[in-house]
Structure 1
Amino acid sequence: MTHRHPLPPDMFDELCPSSLSPFRFGDKWAGLVIRCLEDGPRRFSELRVPLHRVTPKVLTQSLRRLERDGLVSRTVHADPKPGVEYALTPLGRSMLGPLEAACAWAAEHWDELLDAREQYTAP
């Protein structure tokens, strides 16, 4: 058995950047929403098309979290067609590179990931 250094007790303290991450357990849609907004602002109904597996309530919650974290802006339009548009902020745009890297990794390891899931048996 190799010796490992203990993990620091403050590894995930309140000021840790990981606590600000928009990719949280329980919000698996954030990355997909960001990708949908990559080419410019979209209305909620436009987002619903590729994100049809997400209920409107959950999509709204995800958009609110992304807005709260400063990654997405929400603009209300009155004229000519009333509605709301969502867009990436500069901070949100800065997530596109890391998101692309994560997608490339997943694509590269797709078969391994699927094999692992197929071989997994819950305890």
Structure 2
Amino acid sequence: MNNKIRHVQRLNETELAQGIVGGFGPSWHDTYRDSSYIAFGGLPPVLSEGDVLTLFSQYGEPVDLHLLRHPDTGASRGFGFLAYADQRSTILAVDNLNGAPILDRAVLRVDHVREYE
């Protein structure tokens, strides 16, 4: 498992042990409260924009998606950025999808984005 995925999981476990849940107390997620964007990676290149929207819409309403593609072939590069209508959806997506298996082999990486342009 990726070190970044393990780091996020450890942060969440620490907050849970300290009773920082449900918006009670300072969470590491608060650093990103002004951004409704997440970054994702580790997707199999066979997934389309529609597949990505379906995956992430479990946690809120996506309003912007940028799935990066290879400039010559147009094939998905397996990573990109997504914005939610409600910033709180970013917390749900990061906590629930980071480290999730995709198509029985790939491991999804999901994290907050402080600024997206």
- Higher strand content, 1 or 2: 2
- Higher helix content, 1 or 2: 1
Q: TM-score normalised to the size of structure 2?
A: 0.26
Higher relative contact order by CA 8 Å / sep ≥ 6: 1 or 2? Answer: 2
